[in-house]
Structure 1
């Protein structure tokens, strides 16, 4: 027997994109149903991604800081971690946010339907929940089902993906991470902090190719004491034995090597998984990479169907998805809004963090921009020195013809928090003087942004002023 629900808007998926879309629709007075295939709201980000990983990385950072002060003789007790309590700590944080989302859905009168949805036609979805069938008729639909981890072609049991890794079942003595992207580097940071000997292998030529090479070079120099990174390296085979995993690797010089690892984490990217939706039933067009094609209003080629978040392509970031969610909801309501940001910030929550936004030097060259770079080393920052984080750098890129800021990147403690001023400056079209003449609190880390602008304007006094010469 089918249960039938009629609604104005149905949202498929309750990750940051999905719940943001559903809540915004409700706030605009639109009757909304939210479909979620798993038992908890929040999607990958909350349940097995952003929130648990940042929780564990925060603890790892505190642990390493305590270990540092112990080795300096300032602390007298060497820190130890109770992993059972840590796992429960992580679960309770997720539960707390889960509860908050459920509460907001209830207070907004957003109806939640649990189960797996698939299109019947452009105005109906069938949701399967165990043996129950629920038919939802709608006027508008927002697809926000996210993405899935890419698996390796090797048929070997027991290999972890990022979800498995965040369960923190054990801390292996030796660990191989396949994939040197942001997630792979974060997992390397986490497990190396907790005592694993970690190797990161990636087949690409450069680490973090979207970041300027000088910043990546500095980043690699800092983290080389934590774990090893091997670029231009391929996995030829993986075999499981009584010691763990025998991995045959080959570098760019065609030198092959066998190495044994207790565990392996695969982090080679994510892909859009649309087959379960049966989108062919309604003729939605995908691009060559399998992402749903949308316009700047987040509308698909089917006029009443919208798509947001990971399912529409890179960058696969929660903050991008949440902004797209607002656009889709507001367009459905009748507003003439569209998604067209100048920049989208990115952060690797490693130790130290590395964050970037806007154009890098390569982008500026490709766009024939007459640009200039300003760099401020954190070894000249009082706050960085006082907090033992002087291994850092703030970098800003300016258009010399207009003096406007067009990009920036930061390496160091909490660099992701510093990125906000740079992002806003680019969106607002600020020039170097706007930043330089804004009084920044001292001593702070965000002060380095103002000082970097001072370098460009030739007014720096915290370093030797090369332009004064």
Structure 2
């Protein structure tokens, strides 16, 4: 038997082995379907596990330790300057990834999911041809496309040794003395935090008038204040006009509100967004519809215009989040299995793992204004939180958006320490249709940061504990 001789028939073929792909594969297998999951990468996990979510959060945890050690000096505990061992850091990252890959392979084996290494291309709506695989063709009853997304390159350039994508930055080959970041979204800010903590002089340019465009400005403000201390420079309303890689530096020309500048940096990180991987899939041999930005069009059951083909995760648009992709993958699997399932989520949580963190879910204040939705907004500043004081993190804020008619919670936003965990209470409150009164009357332990959610809700009741109630007119 030579490579490419075998053919396979399955109930469900899944193209892509990231969170959307393996989420779909595991759910479909649990529902009794015969599943094959195809990806050029032999190890499951996708970009999220190998070059995105997991490695970035591994390094962000280490950056947090460094920054916490610096803050501890003002509290009476002083540490020596950290000794940075890049080889050991990369080894720790790789160990984390390997452990998680091993877990996914084990789960695939136990569920009977067939892992196929190769590149898939549709021949028609019931068959895909494979390249670089032991299997030459897979015929299927249903297919789920979960091919994800890739970073957008700066026009006229490709990632090289000095112009980096997020994947290149997470390789952590060295700590550049001067790093320039193009893009003030979450990827640029998170990786900028890592490199600044490790010792790089970080400069950042953002085209819009503030960092994290689209996130409520009051949530971003504490982070911007912290980053002005951590980064060397932050340029807003700045356009990059030229980017040229040389052997020993990258030449950058950019235009700020003050005028044009020409600078040299050791490395440049391009973090200007991501684009879906929908090209070269042979979709023209199906009825699948792709929009002008490359996103595959789906309904609320993740079904494409080709009724037996589904698409989930980044390639289908929406919020490019791993947990969203996993949920969508599970929904597609359930629909294929005959379950009446659909993507009916009121509160999708998002987290920016900077220092401080930002997390939000449900309706945002900017979205409410744009859509002319009347909301009541109350904020609890962390300067009134006892726990925040003990941790030296009083710049945070917790805010709640509620329906002014009945007090139903519509959105929650938090900036501060450990918001990645705090936001889940807001998600549950929105999904359960809870009122601000319900959250206020739920007993929160003291002293904790979770109290800030209870106290923000108490403001709606006119009875906050650690700040004066508002005067009612």
State how far apart, in whole Å, the 2-side matches of 1:53 and 1:103 are.
24
Deviation of the 1:275 alpha carbon: 1.9
Residue 8 of structure 2 contacts residue 135 of structure 2 at CA under 8 Å; is this kept in 1? no
Residue 222 of structure 2 contacts residue 356 of structure 2 at CA under 8 Å; is this kept in 1? no
State how far apart, in whole Å, the 1-side matches of 2:329 and 2:176 are.
40
**Which residue number in structure 1 is paired with residue 144 of structure 2?**
142
Distance 1:262 1:33, change over 3 A: same
**Which residue number in structure 2 is paired with residue 374 of structure 1?**
378
**Which residue number in structure 2 is paired with residue 365 of structure 1?**
369
State how far apart, in whole Å, the 2-side matches of 1:424 and 1:72 are.
36
Deviation of the 1:418 alpha carbon: 0.7
1:338 aligns with 2:342: yes
1:296 aligns with 2:300: yes
Unaligned runs of 5+ in 2: none
**Which residue number in structure 1 is paired with residue 287 of structure 2?**
283
1:184 aligns with 2:188: yes
Deviation of the 1:71 alpha carbon: 6.1
State how far apart, in whole Å, the 2-side matches of 1:77 and 1:365 are.
49
Residue 67 of structure 1 contacts residue 79 of structure 1 at CA under 8 Å; is this kept in 2? no
**Which residue number in structure 2 is paired with residue 411 of structure 1?**
415
Residue 70 of structure 1 contacts residue 78 of structure 1 at CA under 8 Å; is this kept in 2? no
Distance 1:72 1:232, change over 3 A: same
State how far apart, in whole Å, the 2-side matches of 1:128 and 1:370 are.
54
Q: TM-score, normalised by structure 1?
A: 0.96
**Which residue number in structure 2 is paired with residue 83 of structure 1?**
86
Residue 223 of structure 2 contacts residue 355 of structure 2 at CA under 8 Å; is this kept in 1? no
State how far apart, in whole Å, the 2-side matches of 1:199 and 1:415 are.
26
Q: Answer with 160-169 or 148-157: which moved more.
A: 148-157
**Which residue number in structure 2 is paired with residue 246 of structure 1?**
251
CA RMSD of aligned residues (A): 1.6
State how far apart, in whole Å, the 2-side matches of 1:323 and 1:86 are.
32
State how far apart, in whole Å, the 2-side matches of 1:192 and 1:222 are.
12
1:206-285 maps to which residues of 2 (within 5 A)? 206-227=210-231, 228-241=233-246, 243-252=248-257, 255-285=259-289
State how far apart, in whole Å, the 1-side matches of 2:213 and 2:361 are.
13
1:325 aligns with 2:329: yes
Deviation of the 1:216 alpha carbon: 1.9
Unaligned runs of 5+ in 1: none
Deviation of the 1:97 alpha carbon: 0.2
Deviation of the 1:467 alpha carbon: 3.5
1:35 aligns with 2:69: no
Deviations 1:70-110 (A, max 9, x none): 46551353322222111100000000000000000000011
Q: Answer with 156-165 or 314-323: which moved more.
A: 156-165
Deviation of the 1:140 alpha carbon: 0.6
1:47 aligns with 2:50: yes
Deviation of the 1:133 alpha carbon: 4.9
State how far apart, in whole Å, the 1-side matches of 2:157 and 2:114 are.
41
